[in-house]
Structure 1
C-alpha cells in the first residue's frame, strides 16, 4: 500500500490546481469538487488541508503575491531610481496581464465560491501587522523603490509608504482597465497611457519633466530589449 502524500505536497497541488481552474474558467470554476478532481482526490481534501474554501482562497492570494515578488525581485538596479521605479510598474503589469484571474483573487476583485481573500491597508504600520507576509513583501518592492527616488532628491520629501501607495494606485488602475479591454488589443497602452501616466505622476511628486522623461526612456528601452514586444 503506497503512503499518503505529505500534507505540504497535497496543499501545493491544490493551490496549483486552483490557479489552473481560475485561469481556464474564471472564479466560477474554483469549486471544491473540481479542485479534488484536478488532483485525483475527494472533496474532503480541501477541508482536510485548508479547513474550507475561504482558507484556500487566502492561500491562492498568497501564491499570487509570491509570484509577483519573484518577478519584481529579478529587476536589476540601473543606478537611476526613477527608471527602476517604472520598471517595477512594467513588471507588475506584465505579471498581472499574464494571469489576470489569479490577480483578481489576489487583490480581492473576484470572490470564487463566494470567498474573498483577506485584505488590509499595507500603507499603515499598525494594520500591516495583520496582513500576510507575502503581501507585505510584494508591496515592499514599491516602498523601497519610492524611498530610493525620494533619497535621490527626485521626489519631494514624503513618506515612502504614501508615495508607494500613490504609484500602486495609478498603475493598478491602469492594469485593471487594460485587462478589461478598455485599451484595445496588444500592448500599445503601455506607450500611450502607462508611461505618460507614470511620468506625469513623477512630476507631480516633485521630479522635473526633463528628468522624468529621460528616466522613462531608459526604463522602457531596457524593458523592450528584455521583453522584445512592449510597445509593438
Structure 2
C-alpha cells in the first residue's frame, strides 16, 4: 500500500496560521499546540508537514522575505536611478516598521539558511539598483567600493532605522525623516552631486 499523499491545503493552513501568530504576537507565541489549534489540525500534522518548529520558522521567514521582495519589485524603473534606489530603501524601513514581528523573524531572531538564503535576494535587488546609479554616472566607485558593499551599507542603514523604531528609541513617525537624511548623505558619499542627491531623495518621498 503506497503512503498517503500529503495535503498541500493543510501545509498552507499551517503556514498561514504561523504567519498570523508571528506577525501579531511574535516568536514566543508560536507553539506546536497553538499552531495546530489555529490551523484546525493536530500537533502531529505540524511535524508531518514541517518536521520541526524550526522548519516552520524557516518557512515563514521565506514567505516574509518573499513579500518584502515583492514590495521592492513594485518600484518601477524611472530615468532617476537614485530616486528609484531611495524608494526601495524606504520600502525596507516602511515594511519593517509596519510588520515588526515579521521583520524580527526575517533579520533578527531566525538565523539565515545555510544555502540559497532568500535574504541574499534583498541584497541583490539593492545591488541591481546601485549598479544602475553607477551606469548613469550618479555614483562613482573606486577599487575599495563596489555595488555589493554599497548594497550592504544601504541595507544596514535601513536595518538600523527599523531597529530604532522597533525598540522605541526613536518614534516611528520620525524614522522616515531620519532614514531619508542618512540616505541622502550616503549617496553623496557614493559620489553623487549633492544637489541632485537631494532632489532625488525628495522625489522619492513625494
Does 2:183 match 1:198?
yes
Preserved CA contact (<8 Å) 1:61 1:117: no
Per-residue deviation, 1:9: 2.1
- 1:168: which partner in 2? 155
Query: What residue number does 1:102 align with?
Result: 102
Question: Shift of residue 137 of structure 1?
Answer: 2.9
Q: TM-score w.r.t. structure 2 length?
A: 0.90
Matches within 5 A, 1:25-174: 25-107=25-107, 109-110=108-109, 116-119=110-113, 130-132=115-117, 134-157=118-141, 158-174=145-161
TM-score normalized by the length of structure 1: 0.80
* Cα RMSD, aligned residues only: 1.8
**What do residues 74-126 of structure 1 show as CA deviations (whole Å, max 9, x unaligned)?**
1112210111101001111122222110121111x22xxxxx34346xxxxxx
Q: Contact 2:93/2:176 (CA < 8 Å) preserved in 1?
A: no
Length, aligned pairs only: 200
Compared with structure 1, are the counterparts of its residues 34 and 5 closer, same or farther at alpha carbon in structure 2 (3 Å cutoff)? farther
Whole-angstrom CA distance in 1 between matches of 2:64 and 2:23? 12
In structure 1, what is the Cα distance between the partners aligned to 2:49 and 2:60? 13
Q: Any idea what the Cα deviations from partners look like across 1:41-67, whole Å, max 9, x if unmatched?
A: 111111101110111111111001110
8 Å CA contact retained: 1:54, 1:117: no
Return the alpha-carbon distance in structure 2 between the equivalents of residues 210 and 176 of structure 1.
29
Structure 1 range deviating more: 21-30 or 43-52: 21-30
Does the 8 Å CA contact 1:75/1:87 hold for their aligned counterparts? yes
Q: Residues of 1 paired with 2:154 and 2:116: CA distance? A: 20
Unaligned runs of 5+ in 2: none
Q: Which of 152, 161, 175 is the equivalent residue of 1:189?
A: 175
**1:168 CA drift (Å):** 0.6
- Asked if the contact 2:112–2:119 (Cα under 8 Å) also holds between the matched residues in 1, the reply is no
1:163 Cα deviation from its structure 2 partner: 1.0
1:217 and 2:199 correspond: no
